[in-house]
Amino acid sequence: MAVAEHARPTLLFLCTGNSCRSQMAEGWAKHLKSDAIDAYSAGTDPHGLNALAVKAMAEAGVDISSHTSNRPEDLGIDFDFVVTVCDAANESCPVFPARTCIVHAGFEDPPRLAAHAATEEEAMHHYRRVRDEIRAYIETLPESL
């Protein structure tokens, strides 16, 4: 689905917990592309904001500390695009109106990658890497949709 030059598409970044990857994506989209897209995030099973995701984004100059975890239906918005940012959300994606285009852009899960980290700094390596991968993806939007 091509995005018209004059359109400002509404995007939902969807993951399972709406705690890390989708929050990072929303933060980057609002920080880098607020003139080109309206960005939101939600989860199939939201469970609160991840503190290390907040820290990783703050290091990059993006404040997501006031974000909340939501389900898509809590937002009350019709989305042009739903971008699933984790495989589980892609596999269990809720039903959206037929006009909504669903795109998968999977990223590794920083909390899972960092589960056995001995220190917070060791854990942050994973959050920073995924944060930067998400930024690179967001920089391609909306043209890549």
For 70-83, what is each residue's pLDDT tens digit? 999 999 999 999 99
In sequence order, what are the residues at sequence separation of 6 or more whose Cβ sits closer than 8 angstroms to the Cβ of residue 77?
10, 12, 40
In the chain, % of residues over pLDDT 90 = 86
Q: Do the beta carbons of residue 25 and residue 39 sit within 8 Å? A: yes
Which is nearest to 75 in space by CA: 55, 92, 94, 103? 94
Predicted confidence band of residue 93 (pLDDT cuts 50, 70, 90): confident
Which residues are annotated as catalytic? Answer: 15, 86, 93
- Res 4: pLDDT: 46
The residue-averaged pLDDT of 60-64 equals 98
Confidence bin at 65 (pLDDT 50/70/90): very high
Mean pLDDT, to the nearest integer, of 10-34? Answer: 97
Average model confidence (pLDDT) for the chain?
A: 93
Mean pLDDT within 9-16: 96
Name all domains of the chain by residue range, CATH numbers in brackets: 10-138 (3.40.50.2300)
Is it true that the peptide bond before 142 is cis, omega within 30 degrees of 0? yes
Out of 17-21, 54-58, 85-89, which region has the weakest mean confidence (pLDDT)? 85-89
Give residue-wise pLDDT tens across range 110-138: 999 999 999 999 999 999 999 999 999 99
Kindly report whether the global pTM for this prediction surpasses the value 0.75.
yes
